[in-house]
Amino acid sequence: GSVHAATRWYERCLRRLPASGLTRAEREVRLHVTLAYAAARHRQGKFPECLDWAKRAESDAIELGDKASQAKALDRLHVAATYLGLPEAETYGPAALALHRALGDHLSQARILDNMGIQRYFAYDWDTALDLYGQAAQAGRVAGDVIEANLGRMNAAEVISDRGLFESATAEFHDVLRNWRAAGWAFGIAAAGSNLGLALARDGDSDNGVTMLREALDRFKEIGAEEFIAETTIRLAEASTHAGAFDDARAHAEAGLAIVSDPQGRSRILRQLATCAAAAGRKSEAVERLRESVELAREAGAKYEEGLSCIMLASVSSADGAQASRGTALLAELGVVALPPAMR
């Protein structure tokens, strides 16, 4: 569960290898360590580094004729490109899936199908994402792997939660968390706990939701998963607004602004800050925050975030009333049937 410790060992191993003139055995070692290092950078949310190391691994795998390792390198290239918003993600995923299928590797098929689902989730093609998550869970079950059999379920439940089916999402997250606790998967326990905490808060159980999110944040800090620390901080801000704990929400949101740079994430944070301002009667601040939130979401193509911020903006500013119809249309396109409590 300690990604920091793992990366230090990988770096030591790589430094021990000759800079040139490697034997085949040494090149194979470098390939496997490079793949592991890329995976560690993925878990830390350091996607540019993950991309760089995965490219090195792919090059070595092709040169060595190692199809299985080439496919694993493509897995990492795909997930990094997805999170970085690179167009290459469209080719990396299918290429990896084709290799895994040719090799009869169901476990790796589950992993890439999950990542392809994440790609479609961020592209706001949620129906396709759900289909890919379902295929991933099935491939994980065929492989007999408790982690991959549940990863697709967790990711699918995240879509269900965003769509407003909070009770169903909560039940799924509870079950996934139980399975991963039994398996002792530290990262999965933190991830499922973070998802469950937000779903609980959205379903009206804000106190337990905030508690779960705080525990998940502590776990991610122990692991050193920086991207997930940022995500859970944003979720804590949202859960706190659902609880009506606006001072806490503002503190989490401001902490998020210090570590989040992407437009989608900042759009979410600004909406929580607007909620806090509106609750305190600072209407002009709320309107300013929401207008910026809408602009950032639109810039990022983040339909869900834009929809929520448009609806909230229209509710606090009569001058922005036309935003309500746009927000409603965006959320209807995504299949959203209910809004989180702070938006009602």
For the stretch 279-325, pLDDT in tens is: 999 999 999 999 999 999 999 999 999 999 999 999 999 989 999 99
Q: Token digits for 185? A: 């998967």
Q: Token digits for 159? A: 């879509």
Percent of the chain with pLDDT over 70: 100
Of 259, 261, 217, the closest CA to residue 235 belongs to 217
Q: Token digits for 236? A: 């804590």
Q: Where are the alpha helices (DSSP H) in 123-145?
A: 126-143
20 Cβ neighbours under 8 A, 6+ residues apart:
none
- Give residue-wise pLDDT tens across range 6-51: 999 999 999 999 989 999 999 999 999 999 999 999 988 899 999 9
E runs forming strands in the chain: none
Distances (CA, A) of 336 to 252, 268, 295, 297, 327: 26, 17, 21, 17, 11
The mean pLDDT value of the chain amounts to 95
- Confidence class of residue 255 from pLDDT cuts 50, 70 and 90? very high
Identity at 186, one-letter amino acid code: A
Cα 194 → chain centroid:
11
- Confidence class of residue 1 from pLDDT cuts 50, 70 and 90? low
